[in-house]
Amino acid sequence: MQKLIGIYGASGFGREVLPLVREKYVDAQLCFVDDSSQESEINGYSIYNYKEYLALPNTDKSVVFAIADSKVREVLETKCSQDNLVILSVKASNSVVLDNVEIGEGAILCHFTHLTSNIKIGKQFHANIHSYIAHDCIIGDYVTFAPQAGCNGNVHIHDHAYIGAGAIIKQGSPEKPLIIGKGAVVGMGAVVTKDVPAGAVVVGNPAKPLYKA
> Which amino acids are annotated catalytic?
135
Residue 97 CA to its chain's centroid (Å) = 15
**C-alpha span between 180 and 200 (Å, rounded):** 9
Helices assigned H by DSSP within 25-62: 50-55
174 preceded by a cis bond (ω within 30 of 0): no
Residue 7: its H or E element: strand 4-8
Contact assessment for residue 186 and residue 170, using Cβ atoms and an 8 Å cutoff = no
**C-alpha span between 63 and 43 (Å, rounded):** 18
Give the number of other CB atoms < 10 A from CB of residue 121.
22
The CA-based dihedral angle spanning residues 61, 66, 67, 73, taken in that order and rounded to the nearest 10 degrees? 50
